[in-house]
Amino acid sequence: MYTALAGINTFDTALSVVSDNIANANTTGWKTNTVDFGDLVSGLIATPNAANAVAAGAGSTVLGVETNFTTGAEIQTGTWSDLMIQGGGFFSVENPTSTDVSYTRDGSFQINAAGDLTDLNGNEVLGVSGGGATAPIVIADPSKYTSFSVDQFGNLTGTTSGGVVTPLGQVALTTFSNSNGLIRMGENDYTAGANAGTATTGAPGTGQAGTITSGALEGSNVDLTQQMVDLIDYQADYQANSKSISIGSEDLQTVVNLIR
């Protein structure tokens, strides 16, 4: 029964992961998570040939949850401040109060009253400021510009009513040697975990960083058909392990009745 219990715990986690993917199928920049399964052993089973002892199985466990960081579908919005990353990398955003930096694939940005380019949570979007450093992108007196644009390399420009184009900053992208080392923080943000490896921040289109598409957002990369297949599969596995516990319980009850 303990072996079946291990299986129940494993597939309960798997069902939670699949349900999470389905629930976020329309979340901007969402990345699909998959479960890695592993076996458990409790010891060795003696055999006539001692040199060929067999490990006794003790069920299954979850070795980890991996994230698929492939680029999601392009969703056109027509809003210049909606930015999509075509390829690798993350936008870097800084909490204006704590100055903590987090990373996101959600490019739903806007200009606030102070002229800061921010995400929907009020975090400031970081730009390339020279020498590999970053700083929040701030637009002095945004009212003087009639339009803004961002090119594929993240260069932000403003155009006045007289047609004068002014460079206003360059959006930075950060790549990691191991993106699966990032830790989900909620609200489409990640923070760099101990296993994220080396972080490289620079201009879009350089190194491993992708390019920028303005006027579009990245949809999730969830394959709903595959998720529904996995959901049915894991639910059947969960029920099979539950049935094993029921049968084990019935067998124990039979033994108890024999003793009586």
Residue carrying the six token digits 């969402």:
30
Per-residue model confidence (pLDDT) at position 77: 97
Per-residue model confidence (pLDDT) at position 5: 83
Distance, in Å, from the CA atom of 182 to the CA atom of 198, rounded to the nearest integer, reads 11
Per-residue model confidence (pLDDT) at position 253: 74
> Looking only at Cα atoms, what is the longest distance across the chain?
99
Average confidence (pLDDT) per 10 residues, the chain, 260 residues: 84 96 97 94 68 74 95 97 98 96 98 96 94 88 96 97 96 97 96 95 95 98 97 94 77 68
**Global pTM value:** 0.87
Distance, in Å, from the CA atom of 103 to the CA atom of 30, rounded to the nearest integer, reads 13
Q: Are 34 and 16 in contact (CB under 8 A)?
A: no
Question: Where along the chain do its domains lie?
Answer: 2-69+222-259, 74-218
Per-residue model confidence (pLDDT) at position 47: 64
Per-residue model confidence (pLDDT) at position 48: 67
